[in-house]
Structure 1
Amino acid sequence: MTVEEAIRGRYSIRGFLPDPVPQSTLNNVFELAQWAPSGTNIQPWQVYVASGDTLVTLREEFKRRARAGEKGHPDHSDSGKMGELWRQRRRDCAAALYDAMGIEWEDKAGRAAAAFRNFEMFDAPHVAFLCMHENFGKSSAADVGMYAQTLMLALTAHGLASCAQGTMGHHPQLVRDTFGIESEVKLLFGISFGYEDTSVPANATRTSRAPLSESVVFRD
C-alpha cells in the first residue's frame, strides 16, 4: 500500500468485529506511529490503549453516563463558535451517515441511537486515548494531531480500521482512574480501532472534501 492509497483509503469506521488485534501487530502499528513529527522532536503524546476487560469496563461506564444524561467534563474544549461554511460541512457529514444508516433527518430517536453508538465505541476491540501533559499548549496539541493521523494511516496500512472520537474525551477522570494516570496528564480524544465489520450499514458512509481553492492559496 502506497502512502496515497492509505490516505485515500482511510475512512471512519462505525462498526467493528469483536476480534482483537494480535499484540505483535499492535506493537508494529504503534512503533510506526512513534515516527510522527513534532516541534523540536518533543513527542508530547502519551497514549493509553484499552482492550479486553479494561475496555469492557470503560465502555459500560461511558454508556451508563450517557444514558443517565451525565454531562461530560473534558480537559480541553473550544468555544463552540463555528461559521456557516463549517457548520454546513458538519451537516453534510451527518446527512451522509444518516443516509447510509437509513435514518430520516426527522427521526430524532434514530439519530439519538446513532449518536449513542459513540459511547459504545462502535463495538471496537481496542480504544487508544491520546493525552499530553498540562505543561503543553496548542502547538503541542497540533503535534498530537499529527501523531493521530500517522497512527490511523499505520492502522490502515496494516489492514485495520479506525474512528477518531471526541466523545472519548468527555470523561477524562474516568480514563485517568482506569489507567492510574497522574492528574497533570490531560486527555484530548480517543481512537477506536480494530477490524471493520463490513455488514454494518454506517460503514458505507463516505464524505467528500472541499475543493483545493477553499483551503489552499498558491502565490508566486
Structure 2
Amino acid sequence: MHALDAHELYRFFLIGDDETAALRGVSFQLSAGEIVALTGPSGSGKSTLLACVTGLDEPDGGHVEVGGMRLTRRSEPERTRFRAANFGILLQSGNLFGHLSVEQNVRLQMLLAAKPDEKRIGALLESVGLSHRARAFPTELSGGETARAGLAVALAADPPILVADEPTAEVDRDTESGLIEQFEARREAGLATLLATHSKALAQRADRIIRLRDGRIDGE
C-alpha cells in the first residue's frame, strides 16, 4: 500500500469562455520513506497537482487515496481532518498566521494535529536556522526566513507526508543544504516527501523525479 496514490487526475479552469486544462490524467504513487521531486516549467501544473493531492482543491476527474483511504469527494470538514492527520503542507505563500510569532505558528500546528511538543519547537527552529527569530512576526521576516518558518510549521507534527511547493526558492545555497538534510532525515525515518521544485540540487537528492509538462507527466 502506498502512502499516497493519485489516479488519473484532471483539473480544468474556466476564464470567461476559455477553458484551461491544468491537469490531464496525471497518475503517480508516493511510498513511505521516499522523496519524489516534481519538476517542470512554470504553468506545467505542479502547484495544481499539489493542491489536489492534499485535498486543498478537488480534481474534476480521478481520485486520491492516502494510506488506502480515499481523500477525494469528501466534505471540507472531512478533508480538513484528513490533512491535519496525514500532511504537512508548505505552499508558496500563506503558510503563516500574521498575528502569531514564528514560535506560535509552529506550536499551533502541533496543537491542531494533537501533537504538542515544546522541546521539538526549539529543535525545529534551530534546524531551519531561525532560533533567533522565534518571537518575530511574519511581517518582520525576509523572504528566505518566511520560507524556512513555513517549512518549520509544515514539519511541526512530524507528518507522514510532507508536500512542499518550491521549499528552497528564496534561500541561499547553505540554507538549501540544511533543508535538504531535513528531507533526507524524513526519508531515513520512513516518512514520505513530495516536493515541487526548480532546484537541480534538490531534485538530484530525490529518489525519483516526476516531470510535468502541459498538465501531463512528460514522457507518457
- After TM superposition, is the score higher than 0.5? no
The answer to which structure has the higher helix fraction is 1
TM-score, structure 2 as length reference = 0.27
